[in-house]
Chain A
Amino acid sequence: MSLEYYLILSALLFTIGVIGVLVRRNAIIIFMCIELMLNAANLAFVAISRNLGTAEGQLFVFFVMAVAAAEVAIGLAIIVSVFKHRETINVDEVNSLKG
């Protein structure tokens, strides 16, 4: 299977992730969309790595996964504490940081 299919899929996933981040208001969903974008990038890494026959791309994927895992841990903790404070995770209602 040629490289383009993988990349097109990756682009689609990434775009879905971006749109999700932009249009959804639920923090958890936004979070999941970010994960989607990360994994879209991972997919592109792996595909190109395989296509070139080198290992670096796959190596990066592991890094991304590790960072993503840490990010999930911190991100979910933040969301939980936001919910405790404001009893909502609707990002439109969490807007006190404005000029």
Chain B
Amino acid sequence: MSEKLIIVLLISPLVGFLINGLFGKWLKGNEKLSGGIGALAVLVSLIFSIIAFISVKNGNPLEGDAGHLYSWIVGGDFAVNIGFHVDALTTVMLLVITGVGFLIHVYSIGYMHGDEGYTRYFAYLNLFVFAMLILVLGNNYLMMFVGWEGVGLCSYLLIGFWYEKQTATDAGKKAFIVNRIGDFGFLLGMFTLFAAFGSLDFVSIFDKAEAGTIDIVFGETTKATLMVATLLLFVGAIGKSAQLPLYVWLPDAMEGPTPVSALIHAATMVTAGVYMIARSGILYNLAGTGWVVAWIGVLTALFAAIIALKQNDIKRILAYSTVSQLGYMFVGVGVGAYASGIFHLVTHAFFKGLMFLTAGSVMHAMANELDIRKMGGLRKKLPITHVTFLVGALAIAGAPFLSGFWSKDEILHSAWGSFPFIYIIGLITAFLTAFYMFRLIFVTFYGQSRVEPEVESHLHESPAVMWLPLVILAVPSALIGLLLGVGGHHSWFHHFTENVFPKAHETSGNVYLFMAISSVVGIAGIAYAWKRYKNRVPSAEPTNTLQQVVANKFYVDEVYNTFIVQPIKGASHFLLWKLFDSGIIDGIVNGVAALIRVIGGMLRRLQTGIVQAYIVSMVVGIVLFLAYYLFFA
């Protein structure tokens, strides 16, 4: 594989961004052209990604010096290169990003129809794909970080895409600020890695880590150093991938256009943290910090699933579901089953992307209504949307033989050996997942219609440009597990990625038993949802305290507001503004000015305006000088 191929793959969305970004004014009248350019740019990347994939599959990856393009930053011992690292993991990510990305671009052509910022939207979306490609293609942590920040920027821009809406701009800022906290950890982690290894290149870091030639930066042992580095990197992953306690930005991010939620906040960007940990798998194994990752992951999975039970906003349910599924991925990479975590990333990208797009289709039909209590019985009016959503929901619920079944089961099975508690919590979460997802389905698509009459009359299935991507996405959502995942740790996917990841622990127990348990749990969740919500609307008012706490998302936002946001605002107001800025900084400046004025007021009296007085002082001065030189020098 030549690096030229990768350059084309990478540059194509950038070109799309430049065209739509710079010439959007002229493209505005022609939506098909503008959206077509955006989709085409990603299609080119997709084609080249497939070529790269075939190339890697034939044992021809692009690694080490081969991927080197040029030296970016060189100073003293510090050197960072621009270069590509394309192996099995990278190509999997490439296919997900460009494949799902392309379909979402096509879908957006229809979804964003008539929007004021049509070309701006496609410019941002292309820029996002470009940044995401940098993230996964880079051969060092700094390049990854550049992509990491790039996707963060695009996420911010697209969440606040409808910037006339106060809630949208607030959500954008929230996402950006919360991500800053995580990114700060990522930066510190990078610094630690550089101090320990003297390099940021993946290959040299991993080689040195395996050889044990690590400088001790923290603590007494190399292990302590690696623990600090990996945990700091994990802080970055917590922010970007919306894990406890930094998950709060993701539900609010649903203010953006729905295809953005599908692409950025479900399929690709939020999985960057999982990718990063899988990429750094060697370090996590050596540091032994995987258990932290796994526990954070499983607790997030459970927590978000519980919140999702009582939400009534279709996109927010999906958002909490995403947080929850990301938790599963972290369980996977945390217990050392890197391939399983990434496998779940892939299946999740398909079915969650699909579900967001179907949710967008529902909104499209319902004049942007989000409250599922105002829906009901939609399956007759929106047949394609209904079926595709059902496929996605079955996949996420772990219905036998659909994609989520394989990947989730692998993760849980891997967890069982070393962390039985995590397995049990994961199983409970799987039950909750099936339950809330089918609660959503039954309330939205079944039962009596509760649609308001004037909306009802306009109910229509989406145009082909929107439902075709749904149908195309539904196929891998259903089947990709069968294609790639059969056979657990001996599956095609594991075989394909075996050179990238450190060896996972051998799983114990009977594979079929685990599959059976997972299936039963998933089906039980669906059945329970059917029993409860077959003909019932979620009540408007919570009936007891527990329900109220859950419905209010455990008051996490309120707690953060009270204990973090308000103290910071208060401290900024009184300490930084009133005391430091107004008091000290302004005090110094005004004090200097006042002092000069006082001195000037005294000195100005010397300027009498009487010329002879000046001359007297001159003469006296000269006489004194002369006297000094004549008599004393």
Chain A residues within 8 Å of B, Cβ to Cβ: 18, 21-22, 25, 30, 91-92, 95-99
- Give the distance in Å from the alpha carbon of A22 to the alpha carbon of B612 in the complex: 6
Task: Point out the residues of chain B lying under 8 angstroms from A96, CB to CB.
Answer: 609
A22 touching B615 by the CB < 8 A rule?
yes
Interface pairs A-B: 3 shortest CB-CB: A98-B609, A99-B607, A99-B604
Smallest CB–CB gap between B619 and chain A, Å?
Answer: 6
- Give the distance in Å from the alpha carbon of A21 to the alpha carbon of B611 in the complex: 10
The answer to whether B606 has its CB under 8 Å from any CB of chain A is yes
Chain B residues within 8 Å of A, Cβ to Cβ: 603-612, 615-616, 619
* Among A18, A91, A99, contact of B611 (Cβ-Cβ < 8 Å): A91
B606 touching A99 by the CB < 8 A rule?
yes
* Among A18, A92, A98, contact of B607 (Cβ-Cβ < 8 Å): A98
Task: Point out the residues of chain B lying under 8 angstroms from A95, CB to CB.
Answer: 608-610
Q: What 19 new A-B contacts, CB under 8 Å, besides A21-B612, A98-B608, A99-B607?
A: A18-B619, A21-B615, A22-B612, A22-B616, A22-B619, A30-B612, A91-B610, A91-B611, A91-B612, A92-B610, A95-B609, A96-B609, A97-B607, A97-B609, A98-B610, A99-B603, A99-B604, A99-B605, A99-B606
Smallest CB–CB gap between A23 and chain B, Å?
Answer: 8
Task: Point out the residues of chain B lying under 8 angstroms from A91, CB to CB.
Answer: 610-612
B interface secondary structure, majority: helix
Chain A-chain B contacts (Cβ-Cβ < 8 Å), number: 28
Please give me the residue from chain B that is nearest to A30 by CB atom: B612
Smallest CB–CB gap between B118 and chain A, Å?
Answer: 67
- Give the distance in Å from the alpha carbon of A85 to the alpha carbon of B619 in the complex: 30
Task: Point out the residues of chain B lying under 8 angstroms from A21, CB to CB.
Answer: 612, 615
Can you list 13 pairs linking A and B with CB atoms under 8 Å apart? A21-B612, A22-B612, A22-B615, A22-B616, A91-B610, A91-B612, A92-B610, A96-B609, A98-B608, A98-B609, A98-B610, A99-B604, A99-B607
- Give the distance in Å from the alpha carbon of A63 to the alpha carbon of B420 in the complex: 109
- Give the distance in Å from the alpha carbon of A25 to the alpha carbon of B616 in the complex: 14
Please give me the residue from chain A that is nearest to B604 by CB atom: A99
Smallest CB–CB gap between A33 and chain B, Å?
Answer: 11
- Give the distance in Å from the alpha carbon of A98 to the alpha carbon of B603 in the complex: 11
Please give me the residue from chain A that is nearest to B611 by CB atom: A91
Task: Point out the residues of chain A lying under 8 angstroms from B604, CB to CB.
Answer: 99
Task: Point out the residues of chain A lying under 8 angstroms from B606, CB to CB.
Answer: 99
Smallest CB–CB gap between A41 and chain B, Å?
Answer: 14
Smallest CB–CB gap between A55 and chain B, Å?
Answer: 28
Smallest CB–CB gap between A28 and chain B, Å?
Answer: 14
Please give me the residue from chain B that is nearest to A91 by CB atom: B611
Task: Point out the residues of chain B lying under 8 angstroms from A22, CB to CB.
Answer: 612, 615-616, 619
Task: Point out the residues of chain A lying under 8 angstroms from B612, CB to CB.
Answer: 21-22, 25, 30, 91
Smallest CB–CB gap between A10 and chain B, Å?
Answer: 15
Task: Point out the residues of chain A lying under 8 angstroms from B607, CB to CB.
Answer: 97-99
Smallest CB–CB gap between B30 and chain A, Å?
Answer: 71
Please give me the residue from chain B that is nearest to A95 by CB atom: B609
Smallest CB–CB gap between B599 and chain A, Å?
Answer: 13
Smallest CB–CB gap between B364 and chain A, Å?
Answer: 77
Please give me the residue from chain A that is nearest to B619 by CB atom: A18
Smallest CB–CB gap between A30 and chain B, Å?
Answer: 8
Smallest CB–CB gap between B213 and chain A, Å?
Answer: 74
Smallest CB–CB gap between A44 and chain B, Å?
Answer: 15
Smallest CB–CB gap between B156 and chain A, Å?
Answer: 58
- Give the distance in Å from the alpha carbon of A25 to the alpha carbon of B615 in the complex: 13
- Give the distance in Å from the alpha carbon of A45 to the alpha carbon of B317 in the complex: 105
- Give the distance in Å from the alpha carbon of A99 to the alpha carbon of B600 in the complex: 10
Smallest CB–CB gap between B105 and chain A, Å?
Answer: 74
- Give the distance in Å from the alpha carbon of A99 to the alpha carbon of B610 in the complex: 11
- Give the distance in Å from the alpha carbon of A92 to the alpha carbon of B611 in the complex: 8
